[in-house]
Amino acid sequence: MEVTITINGEQVSRDVEPRQLLVHFIRETVGLTGTHWGCDTSNCGACVVLMDGLPIKSCTTLAAMCVGHEIRTVESLERSGNLDPVQLGFHEKHGLHCGFCTPGMLMTARALLDHTPNPTEQEIRTAISGQICRCTGYQNIVSAIRWAAEHEAATRQEA
C-alpha cells in the first residue's frame, strides 16, 4: 500500500506492506538510521519517536497508522549545525556511554521539556521510565535533561 507520512517536516511517500512497523519504515525504507530498534517486546524504548509531539514506541505502531500524522525523529533535533539543548545536555553531562538508548532518550526528553519546561528529578525519572539504558545507571541522563531545562530557561531569559 502507498503511505505518505510527514517525517521531520517532509512528506515521504513509499509503497510498503501494511505489516511494516514504523521503526522499520523509518530505518530501512526511508534510511534514517538514527532511530534504534532494540527489542521485540515494546520494553526498551530505543525506538521512541514523536508522533504529533508525543513520544511513542515506533516498534509498536504500524507505518500505515501514521498516515496523516507528523513524525519527528532524532535527526530533526540538530538545526543548521546547532545541536538541540537536550543533545548539548547529554554532551555536557556525559548522558551516554554506548549510545544505543540515546535517540529514544533524547526524543522523550525533548517532548518532556516541550510540555514541562522545568521538570523535577522525579518527573524526569518517570518520563524515561519506559526506556532502558544498560550503561549509564540513568543518573547522568537525568542530569543531562536537567541541564537542558536550565539551559533553555536561561536562553529564554536572554531573548
Partner 1 sequence: MQTPAPFEYERASSVDGAIASLQEHGAEARLIAGGHSLLPMMKLRLATPAFLIDINDLDELSYIEEDTAEVRIGALTRHAELLESDLLAGHFPVFRDAEQVIADPVVRNRGTIGGSLCQADAAEDLSAVCAALKANVVIKGLDGERTVNMDGFYIGPFTTAVGADEILTEIRLPLRQGAGSAHEKVERRAGDFAIAAVSAAVWLQGGTIADAGIALGALGPTTIMATRAEELLRGKAPSEELFAQAGEIAKEDCSPLPDGRGPVDYKRHLASVLTARALRRATARALHQEAN
Ligand X SMILES: Cc1cc2nc3c(=O)[nH]c(=O)nc-3n(C[C@H](O)[C@H](O)[C@H](O)COP(=O)(O)OP(=O)(O)OC[C@H]3O[C@@H](n4cnc5c(N)ncnc54)[C@H](O)[C@@H]3O)c2cc1C
Where does this chain bind ligand X (CB under 6 A)? 42-43, 60
Query: In DSSP terms, which residues pair with 49 in a beta bridge?
Result: 56
Site for partner 1 in 11-70 (CB under 8 A): 17-21, 24, 37, 40-43, 45, 48, 51, 54-57, 60-62, 64-65, 67-68
DSSP string for 89-129? HHHHTT--SS-SSHHHHHHHHHHHHHH-SS--HHHHHHHTT
Nearer of residues 3 and 59 to ligand FES, judged by Cβ: 59
Rounded least distance, CB 115 to ligand FES, Å: 21
Answer yes or no: are the C-beta atoms of 113 and 151 closer than 8 Å.
no
Alpha carbon distance 134, 142 (integer Å): 15
Pick the binder of ligand FES from 3, 16, 124, 133 (CB under 6 A): 133
Alpha carbon distance 116, 35 (integer Å): 24
Total residues contacting ligand FES by CB under 6 A comes to: 22
**117 makes contact with partner 1 (CB under 8 A):** no
Rounded least distance, CB 97 to partner 1, Å: 21
CA-based nearest residue to 46, from 62, 27, 31 = 27
Burial label for 134, CB within 10 Å (0-12, 13-18, 19+), is exposed
Alpha carbon distance 14, 21 (integer Å): 13
Site for partner 1 in 69-108 (CB under 8 A): 108
Pick the binder of ligand FES from 96, 142, 144, 149 (CB under 6 A): 96
| Residues in contact with ligand FES by the rule CB under 6 A | 37-39, 42-47, 57, 59, 96-102, 133-136
| Residues in contact with partner 1 by the rule CB under 8 A | 1, 17-21, 24, 37, 40-43, 45, 48, 51, 54-57, 60-62, 64-65, 67-68, 108, 126-127, 129-131
